[in-house]
Amino acid sequence: MPTVPSTLSAPYNELTRRLSDLTALEEAIGILSWDQEIVMPKGAVEQRSRQIATLSVVRHERLSAPDLAELVDQLMHDQTLTDTQAANVREARRDLMRTTRIPEALVRRWSETTVKAHDVWVEARKADDFSAFEPILTELVELSKQRAAAIDPEAPPYDVLLDEFEPGTTQAQLEPLFADLKAFLLPMIAKVRARSQAGGLPDTTWLSEVVPADRQRTVGETVVRAMGYDFDRGRLDTSVHPFCGGAGPSDVRITTRYREDAFFGSLSGMIHETGHALYEQGRDLDLADQPVSRARSMGIHESQSLLWEKQVGLGRPFWTALLPKLQLSYEFLRKVDLDSFLFGISQVDLDNFIRVDADELTYPLHVILRYEIERDLFNGTLQVADLPKVWNAKMQEYLGITPPDFRLGVLQDVHWSMGSFGYFPSYTLGALYAAQFMNSCRDQVPGVDAALSRGDVEPLLTWLRTHIHREGSRFGTDELVRRATGEPLNPRHFIDYARAKFTRLYGL
């Protein structure tokens, strides 16, 4: 082994110093955005936009500095770096490439168009008028193609867009996964539909009992705390759209909303955001200001929220411990036994048009529908004008229902108005990863379910901390999943889980 002269580490130290500054800028933007959603007075909107825009420009300038690119290039060839250091350089290089390859004129046009498009979408949705949204959506698709071509002219544009949220994921990988899911879900949902029409299923009217927001908050906070969320490094607030934000692993802020006639939806939303928050709080604190500690991808982030919300938060062990406590707070639940409770919270809603309200079984089809539309838009086989027709036809084919208007159909999601194409698959990848992680945790930690039944999340949380949270972006997604579970992403875990669960719940 050659000894490493200490001067050789100077470029790497210089890089970490500059990346640390960039992280501080991103965290400051994070706090300003959180403040805007939660506490900022309405009148400050314009100033706040200016503050965030200025910080974003400073970040962009620093990230595109030519000497930073030289430093990264030099370090890409440095054989003396440790694996973690090399991964940090790799992640920094990815940020640089995705940022600096897009020409400035396109960056400006993009931000102007997305700001405008959001307002246009809000109005079009209010008026239930797709044709009002169509021109600017067409423009966004065109601009996205240009951005993709700027980042990587060799790759198919939709692959470049997918890569933004799921580094390394391509259409070629998604096609067989989604084909397997469809082949399982369509007949499974048909069986559930037939069983539901036959009647005689458990009563679930207790789900719409009215619970005041302050009582929901008290219960929710207890659950969030019991899951291991650290209130010394985070806080819980109320917002219109729940989210997990803040500024790095020491300041992870979650929000929720309370619907008085849907207490379980609110609780389940809190469990979801806490899953995201545990991932952030579990990052490697020694490397918190470096890209290598960041969450691996949107899909892996969603795997953490869905693992808690669905795999754990809809499961028997978790509620064995928690239902008796919930019954102390909510009197109307005292007449609901564990089996009826578990049926109610996992019930399949066969008449639902809205993705965000969808249950575990129908949700992936909402995602696959959007994925197929985006894929065809970017491969040039579908025109924006034809979206409503294609949307409704796919809803009918996959879920057996046709939206009565655009609000409940093609205009329901905010994503396209923000130019976020390629994001939707992450939700379903998250559900697949979650099932696979849970299975591996059960194999490796035999007492995990027994502990959950006693209200003890420690064995599960420790497994997640070790295999997912602390690993950050040290490895590519594939490698992370292989190391944690011994195999690449395998949809059988989710399919077997869902088949067993819904067969049991519906007595199929």
- Site residues (CB under 5 A) for Zn ion, limited to 296-335: 305
**C-alpha atoms less than 13 angstroms from C-alpha of 157 in its C-beta half-sphere:** 18
3-state helix, strand, coil in the chain (%, to 5): 70, 5, 25
Give the pairing type, strands 234-238 and 244-246: unpaired
Residue closer to Zn ion by CB (options 268, 305) is: 305
Residue closer to Zn ion by CB (options 273, 372) is: 273
Q: Output the smallest distance, CB 331 to Zn ion, in A.
A: 32
- Site residues (CB under 5 A) for Zn ion, limited to 389-408: none
137 neighbors 383 (Cβ within 8 angstroms): no
Measuring CA to CA, how many Å separate 319 from each of 135, 210, 337? 49, 21, 11
Helices (H), 352-386: 363-378
Among candidate residues 374, 355, 365, the one with its CA nearest the CA of residue 419: 374
Q: How far is it, in rounded angstroms, from Cα 246 to Cα 341?
A: 34
**Binding mask 129-148 vs Zn ion (x if CB under 5 A, - otherwise)?**
--------------------
Q: Output the smallest distance, CB 302 to Zn ion, in A.
A: 5
Residue closer to Zn ion by CB (options 85, 305) is: 305
Instruction: Indicate the residue whose CB is closest to Zn ion.
Output: 305
Q: Output the smallest distance, CB 11 to Zn ion, in A.
A: 38
Neighbours of 398 (CB within 10 A): 19
Q: Output the smallest distance, CB 125 to Zn ion, in A.
A: 22
Whether 273 is catalytic: yes
425 neighbors 369 (Cβ within 8 angstroms): no
454 neighbors 395 (Cβ within 8 angstroms): no
Identify the helix (H) or strand (E) that includes residue 432: helix 425-444
Instruction: Decide if residue 268 touches Zn ion (CB under 5 A).
Output: no
Among candidate residues 241, 267, 159, the one with its CA nearest the CA of residue 415: 241
Question: What phi and psi, each to the nearest 5 degrees, are found at residue 292?
Answer: -65, -20
Q: How many residues bind Zn ion (CB under 5 A)?
A: 1
Residue closer to Zn ion by CB (options 12, 437) is: 437
Q: Output the smallest distance, CB 51 to Zn ion, in A.
A: 27
Which one of 273, 280, 309, 360 is the catalytic residue?
A: 273
Residue closer to Zn ion by CB (options 326, 367) is: 367
Residue closer to Zn ion by CB (options 297, 305) is: 305
Residue closer to Zn ion by CB (options 305, 428) is: 305
278 neighbors 308 (Cβ within 8 angstroms): yes
Q: Output the smallest distance, CB 275 to Zn ion, in A.
A: 8
Neighbours of 121 (CB within 10 A): 21
Q: Output the smallest distance, CB 273 to Zn ion, in A.
A: 7
Contact positions vs Zn ion (CB under 5 A): 305
Residues tagged active-site: 273
